[in-house]
Amino acid sequence: MIAILSRLSAALRCGLALPMVVLSLGLAACDPQPPMTVNTLQQPSQNTQTIRMAEYRVAPGDRLRIVVLSDPELSGEYEVDSAGMISPRMAGRVSVVGMTPAEIEELLRTRYRTDGLLRVARLSVDLVARRPFYILGEVNRPGSFPYVSGINVAQAIAIAGGFTRRASKTSMTIQRFNQTQGMEERVTEDSPVGPGDIIRVPERWF
């Protein structure tokens, strides 16, 4: 208000007509700048807005189905253990962490041929279940939950029983799988969630 009165006084001293001054001030008042909020300042990076499942790489907690067409008795389902290993029938322990299903297929074909178990190793590897995601903080049921393809933060919160009354909905963060500990980004309820991600919902102060 003080700034407007000062501009009005200065304009009148310069000889401008009162209607023109009022019109100028009115237009300025009708075109305010949008407020800067936490969400506009700290949006997630473009690289993490889209979770690329086509480039999915296996990690502990994932479950794989191996179908060996050349010998069905070698088929089975296996969960990747904490060391990133699986133990397919007659193949021993195999490290698969960081590999795509297609790369695991080729690895097992080579293993079965090299060991002389299969002369022609026809097999496929499919991802049955992805590793869980985690929600910590001010939700009704914090913990780990089975991953659902295409899920976003709002849906993840709903799976965890919703927000508590103390939850700060504007200060949520997420740590992406394989990111360095402590490397987190601000997220909104529309942000995507990937397998192994950790969502944190802090407590609001008032």
Domains and CATH numbers, the chain: 39-52+132-201 (3.10.560.10), 57-129 (3.30.1950.10)
**What amino acid is encoded at 121 in this protein?**
A
For position 52, what pLDDT does the model report? Answer: 52
Q: Which conformational region is residue 43 in: left (phi greater than 0), alpha (psi within -120 to 50 degrees), or beta?
A: beta
Q: Residue 22 in 3-state DSSP?
A: helix
CA angle, 159 then 59 then 112, to 5°: 135
**Band of the pLDDT at 12, cuts 50, 70, 90?**
very low
More confident residue, 104 or 12: 104
- Tally Cβ neighbours within 10 Å of residue 205: 7
For position 173, what pLDDT does the model report? Answer: 96
Q: Helices marked H in the chain — which ranges? A: 2-13, 18-29, 38-41, 46-49, 101-114, 153-159
User: What rounded mean pLDDT belongs to the chain?
Assistant: 80
For position 87, what pLDDT does the model report? Answer: 95
Tokens coding 97: 């962490």
**Band of the pLDDT at 126, cuts 50, 70, 90?**
very high
Rounded distance between C-alpha atoms, residue 39 and residue 72, angstroms = 53
**Band of the pLDDT at 49, cuts 50, 70, 90?**
very low
> Over 61-97, what HEC string results?
CCEEEEEECCCHHHCEEEECCCCCEECCCCCCCEECC
**Band of the pLDDT at 58, cuts 50, 70, 90?**
very high
Residue tagged 């969502």 (tokens):
199
How do strand 173-175 and strand 94-95 relate by DSSP bridges?
unpaired
Rounded to the nearest 10 degrees, the angle between the axes of helix 2-13 and helix 18-29 is: 150
